[in-house]
């Protein structure tokens, strides 16, 4: 098999985004655009991937990691100049090189693969992935001769009135014979409206050298959407959202209102789970089977088991087991581990806390920096007092303990196995297992107090 390489163009300034965030790092369904492109390419068993990065280089590297090699384009002099930066890593290689823009997040591995097949089958030196656009404004146009063969690509800004009527566009994805690509790049000039070295000019250069240039037209125009501004970003988001939701529905997930359900590209959801409206499932979350999620719930980077319900709640960066009931109006903050059959009710906030199997905090609690054993009952209004203004301290509540309503557990503190804490207590010392701890002022009843008040008033 021929060696296959990919060059991902991601060094552009992204001026039209009007943003301090590097263009290709703008997320679509929670994942940076360039990451979408790289993830699709990763399915194609390529010998080498090289991402061309510019002024935000470090941030792109940090996101992409070791999936790709990188080459720096210090000045953004155009797409041909960008590809040139891969010269040291690639120019001597034999094989096929895919060039793709980092701002086309909707492109799929299937379409790139179809382009590759077409390219290798026709033995062309260059094959352009084209599409038919209802509104081709802004895209490079494919100019064909009277035999229907591709002659050249003209950028929108350089096109004549007549050329602008052409609706077949350059998607910005190509396959090249690697050697022919690098030979031609050195011949590209910047004699055009934008004063840039255009990669599409390679097509005309190859053509004039008598080489075969081919085009492969995809019927999925929406896959090739190039995101240059925030409006296109919102279009990409909408298309990606529909695609992701459809995938889950076809896998057996019920989504009550797909137009109002936002699932990240990397989330996984089990069969027979029902997602109610207003739900956002972000990051690399996994949700098990037969869960009920939402309405109005935000889950980010959580691992959730089977038969669990989260309603009107927020959960981040935590593990949640099977048959857990969370909400309405609960907040699970990062680094929490919630075991099976736990119940976290309304207005309960959990932070960096482990909850053992079958434990409950049903109403109005803050439990932070705590280790809660199994079958613990945290009464309404239980609070771990974990912070002295400088440091955070641990609260340990052992199996089967019962914490009465409105108790403060002042950390560091431990409530032993099977112990009871009386309602309204402020616990500052460890409670031994099986003990009852009462830590509140005794009640005093002043008899006939009202009568004395009356006497007082009359005098
Ligand atoms: C480009 C194509 C156009 C095509 C369109 C498809 C050129 C000259 N034009 O136009 O024919 O229809 O894509 O979306 O190629 N980049 C660099 N370095 C640079 C300039 C750009 O790395 O010096 C990167 C950008 O980060 C971007 C990609 O190349 O990911 C495309 O650049 P962009 O400026 O968006 O080109 P378009 O005007 O969209
Ligand atoms: Ca673009």
Question: Relative to the CA of 23, which ligand 1 atom is closest?
Answer: 26
Which candidate, 6, 237, 222, 203, places its Cα nearest to that of 100? 6
**Atom 31 in ligand 1: which residue has the minimum CA distance?**
101
Ligand nearest to the CA of residue 24, numbered in listed order:
1
Asked if residue 34 lies in contact with residue 3, where contact means CB atoms within 8 angstroms, the answer is: no
Active site residues: 363
Quote the pTM value.
0.91
Q: What is the atom index within ligand 1 of the atom nearest the CA of 80?
A: 15
The ranges of the chain with pLDDT < 50 are none
- Spacing, Cα 79 to ligand 1 middle (Å): 6
Q: Look at residue 458 in the predicted model and tell me its pLDDT.
A: 64
Q: What is the pLDDT of residue 12?
A: 87
Which residue from 6, 8, 12, 32 has its CB within 8 A of the most atoms of ligand 1, so it is best to mutate? 12
Supply 253's token pair: 């997930």
**Which ligand does the CA of 33 lie closest to?**
1
Which residue, judged by its Cα, is nearest atom 10 of ligand 1?
Answer: 139
List domains and CATH numbers for the chain: 4-224 (3.90.550.10), 253-437 (2.160.10.10)
Kindly give the distance from the C-alpha atom of residue 131 to the centroid of ligand 1, in angstroms, as a whole number: 16
Q: How far is the CA of 325 from the centre of ligand 2 (A)?
A: 46
- Ligand 1 binding residues, C-beta < 6 A: 9-12, 23-24, 52, 73, 76-79, 81-82, 101-103, 139-140, 153, 155, 169-172, 198-200, 226, 228
Binding positions for Mg(2+): 103, 228
Burial of 309: CB neighbours in 10 Å, binned 0-12, 13-18, 19+: middle
Binding site per annotation, positions: 9-12, 23, 73, 78-79, 103, 140, 155, 170, 228, 333, 351, 366, 377, 386-387, 423, 440
Question: DSSP string covering 172-206, please?
Answer: EEEEEEHHHHHHHHTT----STT----TTHHHHHH
Buried b (16+ CB within 10 A) or exposed e, 392-403: ebbbbbbbbbbb
Q: What is the pLDDT of residues 181-210, one digit of tens each?
A: 999 999 999 999 999 999 999 999 999 999
Dihedral of CA 200/204/210/214: which sign?
positive
Q: Token digits for 110?
A: 């299937």
Q: What is the pLDDT of residue 459?
A: 60
């Amino acid at each position: 098999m021929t060696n296959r390489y990919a060059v991902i163009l991601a060094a552009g300034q992204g001026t039209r985004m009007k943003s301090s965030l590097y263009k290709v790092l703008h997320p679509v369904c929670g994942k940076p655009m360039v990451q979408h492109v790289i993830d699709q390419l990763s399915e194609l068993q390529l010998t080498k991937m090289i991402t061309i990065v510019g002024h935000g280089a470090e941030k792109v590297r940090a996101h992409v990691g070791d999936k790709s090699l990188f080459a720096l384009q210090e000045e953004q002099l155009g797409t041909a100049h960008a590809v040139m930066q891969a010269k040291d890593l690639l120019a001597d290689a034999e094989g096929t090189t895919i060039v793709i823009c980092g701002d086309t997040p909707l492109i799929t591995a299937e379409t790139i693969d179809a382009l590759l097949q077409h390219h290798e089958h026709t033995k062309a030196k260059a094959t352009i992935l084209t599409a038919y656009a209802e509104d081709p404004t802004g895209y490079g146009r494919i100019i064909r001769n009277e035999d229907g063969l591709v002659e050249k690509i003209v950028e929108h800004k350089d096109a004549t009135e007549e050329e602008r009527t052409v609706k077949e566009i350059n998607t910005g994805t190509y396959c090249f014979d690697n050697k022919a690509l690098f030979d031609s790049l050195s011949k590209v000039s910047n004699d055009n409206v934008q004063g840039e070295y255009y990669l599409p000019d390679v097509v005309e250069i190859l053509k004039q050298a008598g080489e075969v240039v081919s085009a492969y037209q995809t019927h999925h125009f929406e896959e090739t959407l190039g995101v240059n501004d925030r409006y296109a970003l919102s279009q990409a988001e909408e298309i990606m959202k529909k695609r992701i939701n459809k995938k889950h529905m076809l896998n057996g997930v019920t989504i009550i209102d797909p137009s109002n359900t936002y699932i990240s590209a990397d989330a996984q959801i089990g069969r027979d789970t029902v997602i109610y409206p207003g739900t956002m499932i972000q990051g690399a979350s996994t949700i098990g089977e037969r869960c009920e999620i939402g309405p109005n719930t935000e889950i980010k980077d959580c691992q959730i088991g089977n038969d669990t319900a989260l309603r009107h709640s927020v959960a981040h960066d935590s593990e949640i087991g099977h048959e857990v009931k969370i909400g309405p109006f609960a907040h699970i903050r990062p680094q929490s581990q919630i075991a099976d059959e736990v119940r976290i009710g309304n207005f309960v906030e959990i932070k960096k806390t482990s909850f053992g199997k079958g434990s409950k905090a049903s109403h109005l609690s803050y439990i932070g920096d705590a280790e809660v054993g199994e079958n613990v009952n945290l009464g309404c209004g239980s609070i771990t007092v974990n912070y002295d203004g400088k440091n955070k301290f641990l609260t340990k509540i052992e199996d089967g303990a019962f914490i009465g309503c409105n108790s403060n557990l002042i950390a560091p503190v431990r409530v032993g196995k099977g112990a009871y804490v009386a309602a309204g207590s402020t616990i500052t010392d460890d409670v031994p297992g099986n003990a009852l701890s009462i830590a509140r002022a005794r009640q005093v009843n002043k008899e006939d107090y009202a009568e004395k008040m009356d006497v007082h008033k009359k005098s």
